[in-house]
Amino acid sequence: MSPLPDPPVVLQVLPSLVTGGVERSTVEIAQAVAEAGATALVASAGGPLASQIERAGGIHITLPLAAKSPFGIWRNARALEALVRERKVSLIHARSRAPAWSAWLACRRTGLPLVTTYHGTYGEDLPFKRRYNSVMARGCIVIAASRFIADLVARRHGVDPGRIRVIPRGVDPAVFDPAAVSGSRIAKLAAQWRLPEGVSTVMLPGRLTAWKGHAVLLDAIARLGRPGVMCVLVGSHQGRHRYAEGLQRQAMRLGIGERVRLVGPCDDMPAALALSDVVVHASTQAEAFGRVVIEAQAMARPVIAADLGGPVETVRHGETGWRVAPNDPVALALAIGVALDMDPAESAALGQRARASVPTVRAMQDATLTVYRAVLARAR
């Protein structure tokens, strides 16, 4: 990875480092900055992934950046301003709205350039929400994870397309590699999740929240009418106990309770994906990107994705997977049946095409460093 000029100090800001695609991307970019010979700072309220910042060669600084109140944002702006001056920060990269407002204020006071990543679709259901969201479009460069998000930013906030860079999230093909996952890792998960021998496994990875479409998948599995198919929902409920219990009740009501597993979070996703016969993305709302889709493709698994948002750009229908209408259990059941009935050679060929198509972490890192170089050169 080519070095950054006049090794700068790059500060990324986000609310916390608990779990999720935003957090993992932050770790990956901190690693890239450190490998390029620069100083990688990350400020957040902390969390389990904070230690990964340190292992990646970065420095984590704990600040209460999850605060959303006007006073909390103002206080954090002061803290970031002091941090900028103390650490001689060259550029701030904001990844979430409340910390971005604090970063924007700190940049105005110090004259630093601000880069933002527009990570989500950000609802506008409350008064003044568009203005609150608009900070993510105020970077001198706005990074979008998909063309879908780039178009949304340009349309919603009137951002000149010349200020937008589409940089898809990526996977590490060495980690998400079917050849690198041992049979013992797969067998361990199968035993842990109580999956009987000889069953087909349909998996939906994603935190337990209604818009991820778990209920749609359960309905589809019931409509499929195949007793030898198990449904595995992988992901944390993040305190949504009622939602998880509601899914279990739905499965019992549909007569598939014995064939559904809510297994919680998994710390070995390559093995989990290798265990699956079909991986489903069933979101009922447009996602900015859909990282789980490309992780499954990297593992050469058959993928079925809802036909909206970021996955439209990563799943070529009939070539690297299938896309179905969102919130349509009938269409989803039909697609699952097609995927399960594929000839093994045909399924393997689809998996290899999918694996060859996925964007990589290295490509994401290189493209982000290119943005940093351009912004720093302009600032100088």
- Domains in the chain (CATH in brackets) are 9-170+361-379 (3.40.50.2000), 178-357 (3.40.50.2000)
Q: What is the per-residue pLDDT for 262?
A: 96
Q: What is the per-residue pLDDT for 126?
A: 78
Q: What is the per-residue pLDDT for 120?
A: 87
**Pairwise CA distance, residues 80 & 103, whole Å:** 7
**CB-CB neighbours of 77 under 10 Å:** 20
Q: What is the per-residue pLDDT for 266?
A: 94
Q: What is the per-residue pLDDT for 380?
A: 79
b/e map 149-186, b = 16+ CB within 10 Å? bbebbbebbebeeeebbbbbbbbebeebbeeebeeebb
Residue ranges, the chain, pLDDT below 50: none
